[in-house]
Amino acid sequence: MIGILIFPDFQLLDAAGPISAFEVGGRYAGKPSAIRVLALNAGPVRSSSGVEMMAQDFKSARAITTLVVAGGEGVGVAARCKTTIAFVQRLAKRGVRIASVCSGAYVLAEAGLLDGRRATTHWGRTRDFVARYPRVKFEPDQIFTRDGNVWTSAGISAGIDLALAMITDDHGEEVAQATARQLVLYHRRSGGQSQFSSLLELKTPNGRFGGLLSWARENLDAPLTVENLADRAGMSARHFARAFAAETGTTPSKAIERLRIEAARERVQSSREAIERVAEATGFGDPERMRRAFIRAFGQPPQALRRAARAG
């Protein structure tokens, strides 16, 4: 049985996302998942959106084998609740698989379950989380992490990625992929994938060159030279290079390399596609050129990132 722990002012999608994934996954596996929403007090629990979810109290958790703790604006109060913390600790001691979505990691950290373990949470909580819990091996740029029987995930939609990874663990890759397709997900993201988007990290991703960069991301195997980009923007190469750097905070060549690295990393970690094919499809052409770019960006070659993603 899967338990979803919520509290007043929880984030609705932190709970609803995994619930839907587990429901669909169980159906494809031919083993419908028993899912129970849990809270300190039984009854309707109001999310931060105002929408309520019906919950049972902790006494009904005897058959729970997986517990997923939601995050949200009310997590601070939940993390200071001695009864809630004791409940999570009790399940962990019983060998229950424990997970958190987004800021639900605070509850796990307060319970001591993350000490010495790899963990993540929403990128916006990084500074506060690291300051509060120095014993945690914090990994701020991960979609989700797994360390033994304890799982954590980044913000909101990443809870679905975490649930899909658990479905893979329980029922196999085929069921997880079928679940992702049913949920109309573009693809199933691996735990090692970045929380961030290269386009969003630029100073003004939606400014004058937003459309050009979006086009470039869809055509990474094209010869995206400064001259070609300038021609598409209807500008001289010199004017384009200066205007682009002023608006985005980086040069055109560096921006394109970041887009290629992001796309290549995604393919390396989420598929078994040959490294040579990934390099070709993302515009690096030469696998060695892609390897050097990965080492500059991540300190590791593509094969190492692929091994880490499969292990995690």
Q: What is the pLDDT of residues 242-292, one digit of tens each?
A: 998 888 888 999 889 988 988 898 888 778 889 999 999 999 988 999 999
What's 235's domain CATH number?
A: 1.10.10.60
Calculate the dihedral angle through the C-alpha atoms of 105, 107, 108, 109, rounding to the nearest 10 degrees.
80
Chosen domain end from 182, 209, 240: 182
Q: What is the pLDDT of residues 3-39, one digit of tens each?
A: 999 999 999 999 999 999 999 999 999 998 899 999 9
| DSSP per-residue string spanning 40-61 | SSSEEEEBTTS-EEEEB-GGG-
- Is 219 found in the same domain as 149? no
Predicted pLDDT at 227: 94
Calculate the dihedral angle through the C-alpha atoms of 102, 108, 109, 113, rounding to the nearest 10 degrees.
-130
- 192 - beta bridge partners? none
What's 118's domain CATH number?
A: 3.40.50.880
Q: What is the pLDDT of residues 185-209, one digit of tens each?
A: 754 555 445 555 555 555 555 567 8
Distances (CA, A) of 28 to 31, 157, 169, 243: 8, 21, 14, 52
- Whether residue 227 is contained in a domain is answered as yes
- Is 208 found in the same domain as 92? no
Chosen domain end from 182, 211, 246: 182
Note whether 102 and 71 are within 8 A (CB).
yes
Q: Does the pLDDT value for residue 304 go beyond 90?
A: no
- Whether residue 297 is contained in a domain is answered as yes
Report the alpha-carbon distance of residue 276 to residue 310 in Å, rounded. Answer: 19
- Whether residue 190 is contained in a domain is answered as no
Give the residue-averaged pLDDT of 161-170. Answer: 92
Predicted pLDDT at 235: 93
26-40, 49-63, 209-223: least confident range? 209-223
> How many structural domains are present in the chain?
2
Chosen domain end from 182, 206, 236: 182
Report pTM.
Answer: 0.66
Task: List the domain range (segments joined by +) for residue 208.
Answer: 198-311
- Is 205 found in the same domain as 233? yes
- Is 56 found in the same domain as 139? yes
